[in-house]
Structure 1
Amino acid sequence: MEREVPPVAEDRPLKVQRLGDKGEPGITGREAADGDSSSSDPWGSTDSVPPPKPNAGCSIAKLQVAWAETEYKNWTVNSQVLYDVLLNIPLDWPSLTVEWLPGIVKCSGTSVVKQRLLVGTHTSGVEPDALVVMQVELPLGPFEESQKNEYKERGDYEGFQFGLSSYKVKVLKRLPHPKESNCARHMPQRPAVIASCTVDGRVLLYDLEAAGICEGPEASLIGHKGEATSLSWNIYREGYVASCGAEGTLAVHDASNALQSKPAGGSKSLFLAEQEAGSNSTCWAEADLLLAASEDSVVSLWDIRAPPTKSVAKVLRLYDRRRLESCAHEMEAHGGSKASVVSFSPYKPSLFLSGGYDKGVSLWDLEQIGADQDPEDAEDGPPELLFTHGGHRADVYDASWNCEDNFSQMVASVADDNKLHIWQPKASVFFDSESEAEDDGVHLE
């Protein structure tokens, strides 16, 4: 997928560059370097600044850049009171996809656990692309009083690193991939099986449990004439995976059968439909019902048991599947910019996130629609808008809820700034009282 060039040039080159070449740690073939935690302020200066004021010699473009810098600077000032967890992990290359992988390992005698993440690379042909399985250490938190002194020296009194991550991050596996991956997801019933969308239209299947160094995919699924843009595994039927294409095709495959038979030339689809416009997202509604969102602002519902019958929205629209002829609710999101990802929480049906080309990731709760607000809170947005992560400095491409119960409010997000952010807002964002938050705290045996 071609990355869009922002309309306003910022203080970063448009050409893709390895951040590691500039001396900033990044993901390497073996391991991600630990961040330099010697600075008391790894995110930058913490002096709050007022918003820029226009003047006769200031162009709109310069004013926009100055405003963005001011917002980011003020975000860094407030970050330590906004988050319970905030890890900033530099990547060698931008990733268009990110997903938590299930399973955590507690490190004996320490206050951290290990969990895996799946990201990709977008090298623009400078280097071979790959899917990357990373392992990151996460804080169990909150820390005991005796442990806080260790982290206070790093400017982090709560025990969570704000800035370049001092927690160990390493690469466990690299999966060779033809050009960039537009979307990669694990099969819910068999988490070791990974499906990935390619720019040539195929959906590639990998097995993380395969012995030895991965030399390529185990099997491929065919059906799209252009780029495969997104995919969704069926949680009701093992092995069924749906994918959508930039040219408007919607395909359903049996990945389990493809991994068994491995037909030459790729496995053909069980269901193939064509929409009037390119499709950027698809998800299963039920075992046989499939939703797809297309660039003509249409959300279509398909029944894969029946033969197939026959512009990007800048707001988030909520529909009731029983009454699709009208929008149930509309949410202004991302400052009128495009929304790049929408994902519901696996733990609370009313909670979802959205990421966009305004550099933000927002958390929403449908249960709060219409709730009372005081005038001051209303200035920050509607009551259903719980929180916005403002740490990225470029378009957000993907975001993923943590799939583990113990970290159900934790999110991973990637953007065009070559950064992976792992973050969890303060518990007060999700709960009305301290007792509710304590009851939902992290508990590991």
Structure 2
Amino acid sequence: MLSSALPWPSLTVEWFPDVELSNRKTPAVKKQRLLLGTRTAGQGDEFLRIADTTLPDFEADKKKTPDLYKFDSDLGEVASYTDAFNTQVNITQRINHNGEINRARFMPQNPNIIATLSSTGATYVFDRSKHSLSPGRDFRPDISLNHHKEEGYGLCWNTFDRGLLLTGSGDSTVALWDVNQVTSANSSLSPKEVFKFHTQIVNEVEWHPFHSNLFGSVSDDSVFRITDIRSPQSAITSTTPSYTSEAINTLAFNLANEYLIATGSSSKDITLWDTRKIPSPLHNMSGHTDGITSLQWSPHFPSVIASASPDKRVIIWDIAMMGEEQTPEEAAEGPPELLFVHGGHTDSVFDISWNPDVPWMMASVADDNQLHIWRPSSTIVDLEP
């Protein structure tokens, strides 16, 4: 596990897709980038941050790769590789920001374009290639998106249609934006459409990975809803508060099965849904001791999903293990789907991100000012791609 102390906590983390491979001078390593923010609680300036980190190249000559499969019995993870490589996380670019960054996500079609949701309720878009590596005095977003009156955490780019962005907020609305409508720098933009079908805080929004016009949203009103932007008045499908009285905090569409969706709620459970059978849930998974605040399916293994919680833990689950028989000892440790628990953080975990290049590797950020880059031991999972 790599643990890096940040000057301020980050509420958001996302791996960039690019990978810089090793050269002859530094064999068996690769460089990757991370998208981070700040939360200073008014004690300092706020920045959108880009970080570089050097990681082992597991596919390179294994003779030049240190023993990274050594098991840490305390954490249940691979041993730290800090001694083997310069794995310090380096902040390579800082961009001034107005308010704490609740969420930041890059545009899939152009990772230089980054959207942020601020604690002020505002949404901003930056072209990081047009900003210096060191921040100036002025706050200069490339686009200001004006609608939300309260802060939010729902932020998602459309993977099919370049420039389409969804935001969700404490004002109970979901806004659809088309940043292609902006023709000049430092412009303001109004929503293309505003959806008002939730009655309480919208906690997260996510575009469907198989259908360009569909998105999911979850709310404190205990409703999970799938909407078609072409006919938003009628939900494609939705749950009702009769299923759970708890807030639904997060959702994640499976990347391989278009009908499979996971939601996480304040009830501490992860619920799996088959959209053809809603409102009846497919399966529930319990393992956290506090509400679920983040879910993300693995881009490498379709049955694997990770969850994060204020209980200071990140849990990796494998739903392929549903229904497997357990011994009493195994059952005492958790359900059969519970594959691995990362317990290295000492405060609430805010966000998680699977590494797009290295199977099983994950980044997590928490209120303890820590960025963790980690993956389970080879004694638990097959680390080979």
Seen in structure 2, the aligned counterparts of structure 1 residues 164 and 330 have a Cα distance that, compared at 3 Å, is: farther
* Paired residues of 1:88 and 1:165 also in contact (CA < 8 A): no
Question: Structure 1 CA distance, aligned partners of 2:106 and 2:30?
Answer: 21
Write 1 or 2 for the structure with the bigger share of helix.
Answer: 1
Greater mean alpha carbon deviation, residues 162-171 or residues 225-234: 162-171
Deviation at 1:416, TM superposition (A): 0.6
The residue identity in structure 2 corresponding to 1:257 is Q
* Paired residues of 1:341 and 1:356 also in contact (CA < 8 A): yes
Seen in structure 2, the aligned counterparts of structure 1 residues 423 and 395 have a Cα distance that, compared at 3 Å, is: same
Deviations 1:312-350 (A, max 9, x none): 232111111112211111111312x11111111222322
2:14 maps to 99
Which of these residues, 283, 286, 292, is aligned with residue 206 of structure 2?
Answer: 283
After superposition, where does 1:7-156 map in structure 2 within 5 Å?
86-109=1-24, 110=26, 111-141=28-58, 144=62, 148=66
The residue identity in structure 2 corresponding to 1:208 is R
Task: Determine if the alignment matches structure 1 residue 325 to structure 2 residue 248.
Answer: no
Whose radius of gyration is greater, 1 or 2? 1
Seen in structure 2, the aligned counterparts of structure 1 residues 277 and 147 have a Cα distance that, compared at 3 Å, is: closer
Question: Structure 1 CA distance, aligned partners of 2:155 and 2:380?
Answer: 30
* Paired residues of 1:240 and 1:254 also in contact (CA < 8 A): yes
Write 1 or 2 for the structure with the bigger share of strand.
Answer: 2
Deviation at 1:144, TM superposition (A): 4.7
Deviation at 1:237, TM superposition (A): 1.3
Deviation at 1:352, TM superposition (A): 1.1
Question: Structure 1 CA distance, aligned partners of 2:123 and 2:36?
Answer: 16
1:172 maps to 92
Seen in structure 2, the aligned counterparts of structure 1 residues 317 and 147 have a Cα distance that, compared at 3 Å, is: closer
1:426 maps to 377
Question: Structure 1 CA distance, aligned partners of 2:310 and 2:147?
Answer: 29
1:183 maps to 103
2:123 maps to 203
The residue identity in structure 2 corresponding to 1:92 is P
State the secondary structure of the residue aligned to 1:242.
strand
* Paired residues of 1:203 and 1:228 also in contact (CA < 8 A): no
Which of these residues, 194, 204, 219, is aligned with residue 143 of structure 2?
Answer: 219
Task: Determine if the alignment matches structure 1 residue 271 to structure 2 residue 193.
Answer: yes
* Paired residues of 1:87 and 1:165 also in contact (CA < 8 A): no
1:16 maps to none
Which of these residues, 71, 78, 81, is aligned with residue 161 of structure 1?
Answer: 81
Seen in structure 2, the aligned counterparts of structure 1 residues 164 and 355 have a Cα distance that, compared at 3 Å, is: farther
Question: Structure 2 CA distance, aligned partners of 1:368 and 1:198?
Answer: 39
Seen in structure 2, the aligned counterparts of structure 1 residues 359 and 162 have a Cα distance that, compared at 3 Å, is: farther
Structure 1: where are the runs of 5+ without partners?
1-85, 153-157, 432-436, 441-445
Seen in structure 2, the aligned counterparts of structure 1 residues 382 and 96 have a Cα distance that, compared at 3 Å, is: same
* Paired residues of 1:136 and 1:167 also in contact (CA < 8 A): yes
User: What's the % identity of the aligned pairs?
Assistant: 35
Root-mean-square deviation (CA), in Å?
A: 2.6
After superposition, where does 1:262-411 map in structure 2 within 5 Å?
262=185, 264=187, 266-274=188-196, 275-285=198-208, 286-308=211-233, 311-312=246-247, 313=265, 314=267, 315-335=269-289, 337-404=290-357, 407-411=358-362
Question: Structure 1 CA distance, aligned partners of 2:114 and 2:156?
Answer: 11
Question: Structure 2 CA distance, aligned partners of 1:324 and 1:147?
Answer: 48
* Paired residues of 1:135 and 1:171 also in contact (CA < 8 A): yes
1:38 maps to none
Greater mean alpha carbon deviation, residues 121-130 or residues 139-148: 139-148
Deviation at 1:424, TM superposition (A): 1.1
Question: Structure 2 CA distance, aligned partners of 1:267 and 1:172?
Answer: 29
Greater mean alpha carbon deviation, residues 319-328 or residues 115-124: 319-328
* Paired residues of 1:87 and 1:161 also in contact (CA < 8 A): yes
* Paired residues of 1:139 and 1:160 also in contact (CA < 8 A): no
Seen in structure 2, the aligned counterparts of structure 1 residues 408 and 146 have a Cα distance that, compared at 3 Å, is: closer
Greater mean alpha carbon deviation, residues 367-376 or residues 226-235: 367-376
Question: Structure 1 CA distance, aligned partners of 2:364 and 2:300?
Answer: 18
Deviation at 1:379, TM superposition (A): 1.6
* Paired residues of 2:287 and 2:334 also in contact (CA < 8 A): no
Deviation at 1:216, TM superposition (A): 2.5
Task: Determine if the alignment matches structure 1 residue 247 to structure 2 residue 247.
Answer: no
Task: Give the TM-score taking structure 1 as reference length.
Answer: 0.71
Seen in structure 2, the aligned counterparts of structure 1 residues 428 and 239 have a Cα distance that, compared at 3 Å, is: farther
Question: Structure 1 CA distance, aligned partners of 2:64 and 2:274?
Answer: 51
State the secondary structure of the residue aligned to 1:357.
coil
Greater mean alpha carbon deviation, residues 190-199 or residues 207-216: 207-216
1:194 maps to 114
Seen in structure 2, the aligned counterparts of structure 1 residues 237 and 262 have a Cα distance that, compared at 3 Å, is: same
Seen in structure 2, the aligned counterparts of structure 1 residues 136 and 238 have a Cα distance that, compared at 3 Å, is: same
After superposition, where does 1:434-445 map in structure 2 within 5 Å?
437-438=383-384, 440=385
Task: Give the TM-score taking structure 2 as reference length.
Answer: 0.81
Question: Structure 2 CA distance, aligned partners of 1:102 and 1:147?
Answer: 23
The residue identity in structure 2 corresponding to 1:299 is F
State the secondary structure of the residue aligned to 1:224.
coil
* Paired residues of 1:288 and 1:305 also in contact (CA < 8 A): yes
Deviation at 1:211, TM superposition (A): 5.2
State the secondary structure of the residue aligned to 1:305.
coil
In the comparison of the two structures, how many residue pairs are matched? Answer: 339
State the secondary structure of the residue aligned to 1:297.
coil
* Paired residues of 2:13 and 2:351 also in contact (CA < 8 A): yes
The residue identity in structure 1 corresponding to 2:95 is L
